[in-house]
């Protein structure tokens, strides 16, 4: 891994599954209601699957009905970047891991209080580190 936390594309291909690579590195999207975490209820921290950076807490996860894990805010101090996304004939805001540059999903202005935003994130971009009961 380079000093800034990023890997070469060949290194990514070695550590990610084909589906994880398609989402994290090629900005793909998993089908709604198919990911491992869309209906996950356990407490814990959601990490970037690519680099392990803590991104979202389960305490900000909610059921938005969209079929992907949804959060009303990232963890405090989380390394998250946002970029304008004009793909597929839409104008959206893409969410990226600030550490490794992996595509996470998109953020929309239709979430619950207190933030009013919905971070709609691919399960394939995440790994849950569950809290012990």
Residues identified as active-site? 120
Distance CA 45, CA 36 (A): 15
> What does 9-33 look like in DSSP terms, one character per residue?
HHHHHHHS-HHHHHHHTT---PPTT
On whether the CB atoms of residues 2 and 96 are closer than 8 A, the answer is: no
Q: Is residue 20 helix, strand or coil?
A: helix
Structure tokens at 101: 């540059």
């Amino acid at each position: 891994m380079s000093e800034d936390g990023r890997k070469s594309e060949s290194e990514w291909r070695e550590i990610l599954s084909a589906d994880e690579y398609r989402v994290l590195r090629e900005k793909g999207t998993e089908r709604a209601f198919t990911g491992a975490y869309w209906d996950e209820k356990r407490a814990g921290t959601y990490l970037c699957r690519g680099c392990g950076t803590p991104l979202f807490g389960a305490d900000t996860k909610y059921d938005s009905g969209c079929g992907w894990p949804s959060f009303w805010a990232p963890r405090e101090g989380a390394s998250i970047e946002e970029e304008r996304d004009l793909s597929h004939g839409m104008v959206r805001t893409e969410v990226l891991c600030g550490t490794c540059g992996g595509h996470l999903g998109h953020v929309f202005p239709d979430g619950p209080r207190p933030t009013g935003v919905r971070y709609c994130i691919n399960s394939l971009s995440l790994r849950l580190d569950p809290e012990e009961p």
